[in-house]
């Protein structure tokens, strides 16, 4: 099976969230690099390393009946030639519900490969319970 070519890390991130919302395991794994050094940390869980274990973790998540929607907010990106680090807040809502279930602080890391940009790290942790993601304020230094 030929993997999709993600021309930018933003393309890979959009595909990641689309696969997540559709519970599409093949589309999810198309985003990830084929490297046994990849890792994933789901909320309240231990770090999972390697393609097979990352795949199995997503298979288990997608096997559940519940479908989730994400609103990605306050994206902060650090990008170099070969790596892109995305820090975001995910507002999560279950399909059919109007009220957000919670907010996750997430770091997604992408690397440029010969086959386009691929995810190498996904780390999600519950954000502080403030109702909304923290607002970044400008600081004045004296």
pLDDT digits (tens, 9 = 90+) for 83-136: 999 999 988 877 777 676 678 899 999 999 998 999 999 999 998 865 454 444
Residue 139 clears pLDDT 50, i.e. is over it: no
Instruction: Residue 94: give its domain's CATH number.
Output: 3.10.450.50
Contacts of residue 21, defined as CB under 8 A and 6 or more positions apart, other chains included, come to 67, 68, 69, 70
- Is position 135 within any domain? no
* Domain housing 77: 9-126
- Is position 131 within any domain? no
- Is position 140 within any domain? no
As a whole number of angstroms, the distance between CA 70 and CA 40 comes to: 18
> pTM to 2 decimals?
0.83
- Is position 139 within any domain? no
Token pair listed for 71: 């609103």
- Is position 138 within any domain? no
Predicted confidence band at 140 (pLDDT cuts at 50, 70, 90)? very low
- Is position 61 within any domain? yes
- Is position 142 within any domain? no
As a whole number of angstroms, the distance between CA 74 and CA 56 comes to: 30
Domain count, the chain: 1
What number is the average pLDDT over the span 40-66? 93
As a whole number of angstroms, the distance between CA 113 and CA 9 comes to: 11
Above pLDDT 90, what percent of the chain? 64
């Amino acid at each position: 099976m030929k993997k999709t070519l993600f021309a930018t890390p933003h393309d890979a991130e959009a595909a990641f969230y689309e696969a997540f919302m559709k519970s599409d395991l093949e589309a999810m794994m198309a985003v990830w690099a084929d490297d046994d050094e990849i890792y994933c940390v789901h909320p309240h869980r231990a770090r999972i390393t390697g393609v097979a274990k990352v795949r199995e973790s997503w298979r288990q998540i997608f096997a559940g009946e519940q479908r989730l929607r994400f609103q990605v907010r306050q994206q902060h990106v650090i990008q170099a030639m070969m790596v892109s680090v995305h820090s975001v807040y995910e507002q999560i809502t279950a399909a059919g519900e109007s009220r957000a279930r919670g907010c996750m602080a997430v770091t997604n890391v992408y690397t440029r490969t010969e086959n386009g940009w691929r995810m190498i790290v996904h780390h999600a942790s519950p954000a502080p319970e403030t109702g909304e993601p923290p607002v970044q304020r400008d600081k004045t230094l004296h």
